[in-house]
A and B are shown apart, each in its own frame.
Chain A
Amino acid sequence: NAGVTQTPKFQVLKTGQSMTLQCAQDMNHNSMYWYRQDPGMGLRLIYYSASEGTTDKGEVPNGYNVSRLNKREFSLRLESAAPSQTSVYFCASSETDSWSQETQYFGPGTRLLVL
């Protein structure tokens, strides 16, 4: 049981290049999320998917697109990377516990540098 996995671990892009960050979970969770984490800003939600086939914008969606390919996989795409998108990106998935709380579990992150 690998939990939440992300690829790549590190990436350097030039401004204007595109790339897709991959995320997969093997916990049979319905909900998945993409966050970015920047110094002093904390974790900010980019997009989320409440269930297979649905996606919604979070707090900072501009410049990103997502695809919920199936229940396991949720990808994040940068169509034209900008230096402001330099960040650490975390994918997460969640389950509802016995207290009806959505408990989120995170992947190891992708460190992205846009030059």
Chain B
Amino acid sequence: RKEVEQDPGPFNVPEGATVAFNCTYSNSASQSFFWYRQDCRKEPKLLMSVYSSGNEDGRFTAQLNRASQYISLLIRDSKLSDSATYLCAVNEVNTGFQKLVFGTGTRLLVSP
């Protein structure tokens, strides 16, 4: 089983829709979780960190479910500009230094 898994999509949604992605992780001891956004042929950019209590930034909400070992990203009122690939990242434990393991990404296409 991969350490971090995501549905590759693509998720095709109309403008204004609400869409949610999940990302599962295998190591129950993981402590840090992130969502990154990556546009085509560009670098990943931090979208938001995922804290134990969950967090919200405008139309974006991230949640952590430790019991089921997944994080989620909810996007409300989708915009055309939200079209991108969304990567989740989870820290690798059992090392003296915090490294991130990335999922392969979920592609989102928002259409007019």
By a CB distance below 8 angstroms, the chain A residues around B97 are 31, 48, 50, 56
Closest CB in chain A relative to B16 CB, distance in Å: 30
B43 and A90 within 8 A (CB): yes
By a CB distance below 8 angstroms, the chain B residues around A103 are 34, 46, 49
By a CB distance below 8 angstroms, the chain B residues around A107 are 43
Q: Which residue from B49, B102, B104 sits with its C-beta under 8 Å from A101?
A: B49
Q: How many residues of B contact A (CB 8 A)?
A: 21
A101 and B32 within 8 A (CB): yes
Q: Does B78 contact A (CB under 8 A)?
A: no
Please report whether the interface of chain A is mostly helix, strand, loop or mixed according to DSSP.
strand
Chain B residue at minimal CB-CB distance from A88: B41
Residues 1 to 56 of chain B near chain A (Cβ within 8 Å):
31-32, 34, 42-46, 49, 51
**Scoring A residues 50 to 83 as 1 if CB is less than 8 Å from chain B, else 0, what string do you get?**
1000001010000000000000000000000000
Task: Please name 12 pairs of A and B residues whose Cβ atoms are closer than 8 Å in the assembled complex, sorted by A.
Answer: A42-B104, A43-B44, A48-B99, A90-B43, A90-B44, A97-B49, A99-B49, A101-B31, A101-B98, A103-B34, A103-B46, A104-B89
Interface positions of A (Cβ within 8 A of B): 31, 33, 40-43, 45, 48, 50, 56, 58, 90, 97, 99, 101-109
